[in-house]
Structure 1
Amino acid sequence: MTPTRTPGPIRHFRTLFISDLHLGSKAAQAERLLAFLAVHDAEKIYLVGDIVDGWRLKRAWHWPQSHNDVVQAFLRKARKGTQIVYVPGNHDEFLRGFPGQHFGGIEVRLTDVHETADGRRLLVMHGDEFDVVVRNARLIAYLGDWAYDAAIAINLVFNQFRRRFGFGYWSFSSWAKLKVKNAVSFIGAFETALASEAGRMGCDGVVCGHIHHPQIAERAGMLYVNSGDWVESCSAIAERHDGSLELLTWTGLPAAAPQLVDLPQSEEIKPLEPAKAA
């Protein structure tokens, strides 16, 4: 069984990138996100799309108190001085009609360019613009969304048994996705396309979400960063005060639990040299 401890000191970062919360979906891990936010803070937070799941809310309304608590947690951080930028995705595309607008101190931007402490320019976008299925075949995308719901339902049942026998959370849908050859091929093409777009925009790399596959890597000679999700991976990207990036994976218990696990597992990548002008 995973060892536990009482909540420790808050980890402070220059920037946090968080995406794909899917609030409004039964699969959203809102309690775990609340636990994460309780011990992680930053000067600036990017919400990189699919924060609210408008697709699912259209089908059936689901908005428990924990989902409202997540919204309030971000609003509270904004009131205390954290700059929060919301870059909408395809599931919350209704917000794309409000670029430049502020909601409770949270600013909506269609895309953004973030400059790290070590001078790198990172294009921030959700990434669905480079998903051919979402862009050109909305019906297929909705069917895929339904299939994904089914996989998540299997996750929930499977992990109930794992918890009963003292094992931690494990994502069946994430494992299955990476075992399917076409899915692996799609992820590779998606990563390369976004990295190439960052280069075209004169940036050193890209930060995105959308495919629920957290990653810090080099693609097409550019830095590719995916913040993952809070349905399967429970992950975020943190920029330290020196500009280096860290992939955080929260393995803690939900916020309702009396204790939290030890500090999240992390994966670090050393800073890359800024791209030289052509």
Structure 2
Amino acid sequence: MASRIRTTISNLPAWLDLPEPQAFRPKRRYRTIWISDIHLGTRGCNAVMLLDFLRSVECDVLYLVGDILDGWRLRKGWYWPDAHNEVVRRILKMAHGGTRVILIAGNHDEMLRPYAGMSFGGVEVALDAVHLTADGRRLLVTHGDSFDSVVLYARWLAFLGDKAYSVLLRLNVVLNAVRRRLHLPYWSLSAYLKKRVKNAVQFIGAYEEAVAHAARDCHVDGVVCGHIHSAEIRQIGDITYYNDGDWVESCTALVEAADGTISLVDWAEECRLRAAKAPATAPSEEKEYA
């Protein structure tokens, strides 16, 4: 990975130094957190739920594993509600507060790839990285689009698929707006269909095998990626495959504990359980997502 070039920023905004508000629950402490596929700039982005997660955790290193911004969608039309600003502000505050933040550029935010090796507001931009866990394992961290044959060899087909997927996500937004009015928890139609469509299941399996094979060639112990919006921890031969999921459908993150143990956090499920116990404290969705 290219050497990092630190930029000096003067006249930092005052909000970076404001004290944290009193938390309504203790923050969870992790060594490392991986999140990806936030797709800021789209209506499908669950920014409110992501903010709830980010405000509930602390970590030494935060990896943003690609598709944080959705440049494909923003080129077609501007959509940027306040909650998306708050996600950016929260990440910058974490970087300012001592968390090392590394952004791995993905295919939807590929406009950041020429800036690999540079740092903006404390956020390091990279094409990929190698993470050393607390128990001594080396993990390749990459967005994963380079292993997607559709994106790699048929870019026009990828854009066509993105259009169809966007329609499905819009249906997902409408469905969850109705569910909120009925006081029902968040549920992802797109994730449900993906797990049950034979071709999608076959694609995910082939993708995981391809990523693991590439990681083996890099002589690492495992690989962390995103891209396909399918959270998973799976052993493939001598390679441990980790996918941190997304914040459009599943709302999941990958976390490393102090001893090097890595696990998935299903924040949508945690919000459902929290709402069932104390509905008044559950994070609310904003009207612009309806």
* Distance (Å, rounded) in 2 between the aligned partners of 1:89 and 1:8: 33
> Could you tell me which residue of structure 2 aligns to residue 159 of structure 1?
176
Match among 207, 210, 219 for residue 236 of structure 2: 219
> Could you tell me which residue of structure 1 aligns to residue 132 of structure 2?
115
Matched, 1:70 2:87: yes
- Name the SS of the counterpart of 1:139 in structure 2: helix
* Distance (Å, rounded) in 1 between the aligned partners of 2:94 and 2:68: 16
* Distance (Å, rounded) in 2 between the aligned partners of 1:151 and 1:92: 21
Alignment of 1:134-213 (within 5 A): 134-213=151-230
Measure how far apart 1:162 and its partner are.
2.4
> Could you tell me which residue of structure 2 aligns to residue 260 of structure 1?
282
Measure how far apart 1:139 and its partner are.
1.0
> Could you tell me which residue of structure 2 aligns to residue 230 of structure 1?
247
Structure 2 stretches lacking a partner, 5+ long = 1-22, 273-278, 284-290
Measure how far apart 1:241 and its partner are.
0.3
Matched AA of 1:153: R
- Name the SS of the counterpart of 2:187 in structure 1: coil
Measure how far apart 1:220 and its partner are.
3.4
Higher helix share: 2
Matched, 1:102 2:119: yes
TM-score under structure 1 normalisation? Answer: 0.88
Matched AA of 2:161: G
Matched AA of 1:47: L
Query: Runs in 1 of length 4+ with deviation above 6 angstroms?
Result: none
* Distance (Å, rounded) in 2 between the aligned partners of 1:63 and 1:47: 19
Matched AA of 2:27: I
> Could you tell me which residue of structure 2 aligns to residue 81 of structure 1?
98
* Distance (Å, rounded) in 2 between the aligned partners of 1:162 and 1:25: 20
Match among 249, 258, 261 for residue 241 of structure 1: 258
CA contact (8 A) 1:209 1:229 kept: yes
Between Structure 1 and Structure 2, how many residues are aligned?
253
Matched AA of 1:41: E
Matched AA of 2:54: L
* Distance (Å, rounded) in 1 between the aligned partners of 2:27 and 2:120: 26
Measure how far apart 1:21 and its partner are.
0.4
TM-score under structure 2 normalisation? Answer: 0.84
* Distance (Å, rounded) in 2 between the aligned partners of 1:156 and 1:99: 33
Deviates more, 1:31-40 or 1:164-173: 164-173
> Could you tell me which residue of structure 2 aligns to residue 53 of structure 1?
70
CA contact (8 A) 2:51 2:87 kept: yes
CA contact (8 A) 1:196 1:220 kept: no
Measure how far apart 1:258 and its partner are.
6.2
Measured on the aligned residues, the alpha-carbon RMSD in Å equals 1.5
CA contact (8 A) 1:7 1:39 kept: no
